[in-house]
Structure 1
Amino acid sequence: MTISQELSSFFSPSYVETSPAPEIGAKAPSCPELPFPADNGKPTIISFLRHCGCPVTEAAFLKMRTASAQHPDINFITISHSDQESTEKWLDAVGGSESGDGSSVTMVVDADRQIYARWGLGIVSWGHLWNFAGLASIWKLGREDGIWQRPTESGNRWQSAGSFAVDAEGYVRWGRAAVRVDDMVDIEAAIAALRA
């Protein structure tokens, strides 16, 4: 990681046209990298991450990994917009995608942000990123859970995160774009929506 790599994450990324976010009850956007309904016939919880290195990204990923062990009947997928090499290096730093009992989180790399765009996840505003309450929450995450900023080798701080739950038939049952910088997947709400 270089200083220039870290600083480049603050510059606005290239423009990618986004589709409207899928509505609850609508068919989930499907593509070869993220097909719906899922090939294995299971429901899916998806977390579109902020850049690799972000404490919120790490906390969200760890929540997904823990949940994958507790709910083997659900697919858990995270999407990274950092490049493949940076994503793999970051995954190693946070302990990998395996939960230790054979369950795991699937990581999909979307460096050109096309999957993000299909799900309505574009660029956030200044108020979203530099939100005082959100930044205070991130500081608390570091202080209480020991999750601090890691080096950012690729990706962009302005890319929106978001989380969704998709049932076994491929319909969105829960989810939305992140509302501020510290917003992350609510596993319990996603599971409850899939069980309803």
Structure 2
Amino acid sequence: MFAKFTTKIALRKAGIPSNALSIPNYPANANNPKDGNAALPFANPFKDMQVPKALKSWQTPLPPPVEVASTPVVGARAPSSGQLRLPAEDGRSTIVVFLRHTGCPFAEKTFLELRRIANKYPDLHCVAISHASKAATDKWISSIGGAWAVKVIIDEAREVYASWGLGVSTTYHLLNPWTQMAARRLGTNENIWGREVDPTANRWQVGGCWATDQMGSIRWGAASNTADVIPDLTEACKVLGFN
């Protein structure tokens, strides 16, 4: 009470009305005093705010339409589906890369190496699978120079990913300090930095790479343990007999 009294005296000496700092008592909605939609006496600064599209790639994705299987191991038959038929119909051995997402610098480095391999060994079937939309994938591939001899498969539902045991990653998988340092090294040493991530892509998707022989058996490969894994495609070629 004493504090309020001294405040009023100070305001009076300064020539400021004593009610200048009081909060107006706005009348409630006469029809419904508890109406939560009644007009506020001040504008809501957040009412028109929208989540940036780039942030959508950080949201947890919807589960794929099929259960995430166990990752195939060396010696096992490769999973085959309508989108990815193995063994290849033309009888070639296959290297299949499951991209983490378009815009990922590690996915870009892997795709560039796969493209080089496909150009060097025309008798080797090279496949890259993306879960981003076709438009987003085409835009990303165009920005890094095109697909060349690599066959690109669009799997927005992530059904093919799931059949190869590739689901949603953990926070450590993506955000551990070693992955962050690897991203900086890749950018500094090879000028491959992260690009804009389309909202149809998702950063939490696990990537992987496998090599299958002419009979459709797994000869090499695994799911990525962390987001910065860049598969050794040269080693994959050697296992398949391409030196």
Q: TM-score range by the shorter chain?
A: over 0.9
Which residue in the other structure is 1:181 paired with? 227
The DSSP-based 3-state class of the residue aligned with 1:76 is: strand
Q: Any unmatched runs of 5+ in structure 1?
A: 99-103
Matches within 5 A, 1:96-175: 96-98=146-148, 104-153=149-198, 154-175=200-221
Matched residue type, 1:4: P
Which residue in the other structure is 1:31 paired with? 81
| Separation of aligned partners in 2, 1:4 and 1:29 | 37
Query: CA deviation digits over 1:10-46, x for unaligned, max 9?
Result: 1111123201111211110001111011011000001
Q: Which consecutive aligned stretches of 4+ in structure 1 deviate over 3 angstroms post-superposition?
A: none
1:5 is matched with which residue: 53, 62, 77? Answer: 53
Greater RCO (CA < 8 Å, at least 6 residues apart)? 1
2:132 is matched with which residue: 79, 82, 85? Answer: 82
Query: CA deviation digits over 1:131-184, x for unaligned, max 9?
Result: 111111111111111111111112101000000000011001111100111102
The DSSP-based 3-state class of the residue aligned with 2:58 is: coil
Is residue 78–residue 107 contact of structure 1 (8 Å, CA) maintained in 2?
A: yes
Which residue in the other structure is 1:18 paired with? 68
Which residue in the other structure is 1:101 paired with? none
Aligned residues: 190
| Distance change >3 Å, CA 3–CA 62, structure 1 → 2 | farther
RMSD: 1.4
* TM-score normalised by the chain length of structure 2: 0.76
Deviation of 1:47 after TM superposition, in Å, equals 0.6
The DSSP-based 3-state class of the residue aligned with 1:195 is: coil
Deviation of 1:5 after TM superposition, in Å, equals 2.1
Deviation of 1:3 after TM superposition, in Å, equals 6.8
Kindly indicate whether residue 112 of structure 2 is the aligned counterpart of residue 62 of structure 1. Answer: yes
* TM-score normalised by the chain length of structure 1: 0.93
Which is greater in Rg? 2
Identity of aligned pairs, percent?
A: 37
Query: CA deviation digits over 1:74-104, x for unaligned, max 9?
Result: 1111000111110011111111111xxxxx1
The DSSP-based 3-state class of the residue aligned with 1:47 is: strand
The DSSP-based 3-state class of the residue aligned with 2:240 is: helix
The DSSP-based 3-state class of the residue aligned with 1:30 is: coil
